[in-house]
């Protein structure tokens, strides 16, 4: 498996252009992009697609009774057809939104109770209409970015890389406090790991390490800087941020990098780390 690396801006812009030309956000469309950029680690191109889909949905998806009613009318018209294959998938592609979000909006017109809508998305067997239940299930299973299955996968990946980082720290006998301990001590915003004794990575002092199981680009990094990383720096000093799936080269030229923290795509090698000991 190839390792994620710092990405050139030209390559990122090419991916962005191809993404903007997609006609749908189905798994099929995602696989087309993966195939074209198969020189990249699967985790890297997958993370980039995920970020771009979510941003696109924030701009285009609207929660509205009028829209829910419209989607319901479109669905009802097609469900009358003898060929009932992938109705929600076809409609979501036509409307330019993700299959799971289309299904959610559709269900909001069926169930006025939002709690029931959420339950039905998580468990489609609760949907009384068997055709709608089946179509909703297909939509969720064919959506890599939204829905309970996609959420579970993303949470699992995040935990997997946190555990990987923890294992790396323990192998090097670097002692730390994790975020659960820090929160129990009253910190509201905490890095994944606060080191008991600072280390130096290529000469840069590191007091904390943050794990990001995704690709870092200008937009999401800017959000992390504002909401998390600046707080860590103010409270604990300089640190290390690991974007496991790679990051955009432009981040290295931002003023906070190499001042407030350094960026890496994996845990630094032993040869690049200097460990300190407390006297006494």
User: What pLDDT, in 10s, does the model give residues 40-71?
Assistant: 999 999 999 999 999 999 887 777 888 899 99
The single-letter DSSP state of residue 188 is S
Query: How do beta strands 204-212 and 193-201 pair?
Result: antiparallel
pTM of the predicted model over 0.75: yes
pLDDT at site 242: 98
CA diameter of the chain = 80
Mapped onto helix, strand or coil, the DSSP state of residue 6 is strand
Residue 279's pLDDT band (boundaries 50, 70, 90)? low
Residue 278's pLDDT band (boundaries 50, 70, 90)? low
Res 2 pLDDT > 70: no
The single-letter DSSP state of residue 189 is S
Q: Which residue has the higher pLDDT, 263 or 183?
A: 263
Res 36 pLDDT > 90: yes
Res 13 pLDDT > 90: yes
Average model confidence (pLDDT) for the chain?
A: 92
Q: Which residue has the tokens 């064919």?
A: 142
Average of per-residue pLDDT across 6-33? 92
Per-residue tokens: 170: 């323990």
Q: What is the dihedral sign for C-alpha 147, 142, 159, 217?
A: negative
Res 229 pLDDT > 80: yes
- Looking at 15-19, 41-45, 143-147, which range is the least confident one? 143-147
Query: How do beta strands 247-248 and 6-7 pair?
Result: parallel
Average of per-residue pLDDT across 75-87? 85
């Amino acid at each position: 498996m190839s390792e994620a690396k710092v990405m050139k801006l030209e390559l990122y812009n090419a991916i962005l252009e191809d993404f903007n030309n997609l006609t749908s956000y189905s798994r099929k469309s995602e696989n087309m992009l993966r195939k074209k950029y198969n020189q990249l680690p699967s985790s890297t191109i997958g993370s980039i697609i995920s970020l771009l889909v979510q941003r696109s949905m924030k701009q285009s998806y609207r929660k509205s009774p009028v829209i829910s009613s419209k989607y319901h009318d479109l669905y009802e018209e097609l469900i009358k057809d003898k060929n009932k294959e992938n109705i929600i998938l076809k409609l979501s592609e036509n409307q330019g939104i993700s299959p799971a979000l289309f299904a959610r909006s559709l269900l909001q017109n069926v169930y006025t109770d939002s709690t029931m809508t959420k339950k039905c998305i998580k468990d489609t067997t609760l949907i009384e209409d068997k055709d709608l239940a089946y179509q909703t299930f297909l939509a969720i299973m064919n959506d890599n970015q939204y829905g309970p299955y996609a959420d579970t996968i993303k949470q699992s990946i995040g935990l997997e890389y946190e555990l990987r980082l923890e294992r790396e720290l323990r192998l090097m006998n670097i002692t730390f406090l994790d975020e659960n301990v820090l929160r129990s001590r009253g910190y509201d915003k905490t890095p994944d790991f606060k080191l008991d004794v600072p280390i130096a990575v290529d000469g840069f002092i590191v007091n904390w390490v943050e794990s990001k199981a995704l690709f870092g680009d200008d937009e999401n990094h800017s959000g992390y800087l504002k909401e998390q990383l600046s707080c860590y720096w103010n409270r604990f000093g300089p640190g290390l941020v690991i974007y496991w799936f790679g990051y955009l080269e432009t981040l290295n030229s931002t003023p906070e990098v190499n001042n407030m923290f350094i960026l890496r795509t994996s845990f630094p090698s032993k040869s690049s780390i200097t460990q300190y000991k407390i006297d006494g």
